[in-house]
Amino acid sequence: MNSDLKSHNTFGVSAQARAIHSIRTESELIAFLAADTSNTDLILGQGSNVLFTGDLPYRVGLLKLKGRRFKAFSEEEVLVTAAAGESWHDFVLWTLEEGFGGLENLALIPGSVGAAPIQNIGAYGVELKDHFYSCRAIDRSTQEEKVFNAEDCAFGYRNSIFKNECKNQFVIVEVTFKLSQRNHTLNLNYAPLKNWFSGKNIEKLRPADVAEAVCSIRRSKLPDPSILGNAGSFFKNPIITAEFTQSLLKKFPEAPLYPQANGTFKVAAGWLIDQLGLKGYRQGDAAVHDKQALVLVNLGSASGNDLKNLAQHIKKSVNETFGITLEEEVTFYP
Ligand code: FAD
Ligand code: EPU
């Protein structure tokens, strides 16, 4: 296989891997991991949350495991399982076609099912953890299997055990969700979604209608990676203390803030970057998206390093003005 990663990352940046392997079965995965004695090779889904800042002196395994199934859990609920290599959005659409509710707010998030628990994907007021039941993973060093339930995964905002204690230790091979098969509870709390349905009769709304609205809102805000290279939000929305929030509000009373359960606040990083006048700012072909300042884009021939340099410039500017340190959501390699 050609070892250029350009078509395997949604930024569309070029980088050479030592080799690229397609992994279609669990036995192929086990063989791939067994050959990786230094535990350095990279497992990739659809490359929608990574930035290659240079060539990779190791192998890349593209996880292509396929399959999905469901079984009743109770009269109301069903357990739905998908293999890691399934496309997340196609999987969500399939659950909706089968009449299952729960994942509708997470429609159109790029990437694979297997990567979804890594950062506990979230959008429009719902996170993966809200419907997660378990996942099955292979230990990279021993090739033994382990099942993680929701508690084991220690999910947080764009966070899980797979980014902390178990970083780079497991490859998720399948994920199971507990979804509703009747009496669906819809989550329309997120402001843009609430506004979408305001004035409409929501009594008869189905989960699929919510997914359709989410897709429309997402398409109006976020660039399509097949047209404009990007990885969604480049940074996480920072969490700040109640005390810091008060001092921020004194200077910037209109700052978009989201109160968290533990008394802290999440502040919209896109707003912080936008306030600095950086929307549309470019350094060569690396640019801040002109409609959403939290999204960095490759206008054509940006390298991973160009995007990294732009990100550093943004971090420095945000820190100087607001005293807030942005943390990347995107993972850099090598
Ligand atoms: P990759 O980019 O291939 O991998 C990401 C990381 O996970 C890497 O470290 C990789 O090694 C690891 N990994 C991948 N698969 C496995 C596995 N099976 N086992 C163990 N480790 C694995 N995210 C959100 O949360 N909410 C959003 O609304 C959202 N919107 C986006 C919009 C756009 C336009 C884009 C481009 C991205 C967006 N994202 C969003 C980010 C991205 O969609 C998610 O992070 C997604 O889960 C990444 O999936 P992937 O298969 O592309 O992962
Ligand atoms: N805003 C600006 N200017 C901008 C961008 C945003 O002022 O250029 C303001 C908006 O007006 C709004 C606030 O910032 O008041 C939040 O913006 P938005 O609703 O677009 O959401 P976000 O916080 O930028 C987050 C997630 C997205 C997710 C959406 C919807 C993170 C890091 N990002 O974006 O996830 O799709 O909410 O739930 O949490 C991703 O993780 O890759 C991603 C796209």
Domain positions in the chain? 3-63, 68-221, 229-333
The CATH fold of domain 229-333: 3.90.78
Model confidence at 326: pLDDT above 80: yes
Exposed / middle / buried, residue 170 (Cβ in 10 Å: 0-12, 13-18, 19+): buried
Question: Separation of 273 CA from ligand 1 center, angstroms?
Answer: 23
The Cα angle at residue 235 between residues 233 and 236, in degrees rounded to 5:
95
Which pLDDT tens digit goes with each residue over 159-207? Answer: 999 999 999 999 999 999 999 999 999 999 999 999 999 999 888 899 9
- Do 3-63 and 68-221 come out as alike in CATH topology? no
Q: CA nearest 65: which of 118, 6, 115? A: 115
Which pLDDT tens digit goes with each residue over 41-61? Answer: 999 999 999 999 999 999 999
Q: Ligand 1: does its nearest atom lie under 6 Å from the Cβ of 171? A: yes
> Which of the following is catalytic: 59, 136, 140, 158?
158
25, 41, 113, 118: residue to mutate for ligand 1 pocket, most atoms within 8 A of CB: 118
* Strand partners of residue 174: 83, 136
Q: How far is CA 211 from the centre of its chain?
A: 17
Question: Separation of 329 CA from ligand 2 center, angstroms?
Answer: 13
Which pLDDT tens digit goes with each residue over 252-299? Answer: 999 999 999 999 999 999 999 999 999 999 999 999 999 999 999 999
User: Which DSSP state fits 327?
Assistant: -
Query: Which stretches of 194-291 are assigned E, i.e. beta strand?
Result: 229-233, 239-240, 257-259, 265-267, 282-283, 286-288
The CATH architecture assigned to 68-221 reads: 2-Layer Sandwich (3.30)
Which pLDDT tens digit goes with each residue over 64-102? Answer: 999 999 999 999 999 999 999 999 999 999 999 999 999
- pTM of the full predicted structure? 0.98
Q: Ligand 1: does its nearest atom lie under 6 Å from the Cβ of 231? A: yes
Of 3.40.50.1820, 3.30.43.10, 3.30.70.3340, 1.10.260.40, the CATH number of 3-63 is 3.30.43.10
Q: Are 59 and 333 in contact (CB under 8 A)?
A: no
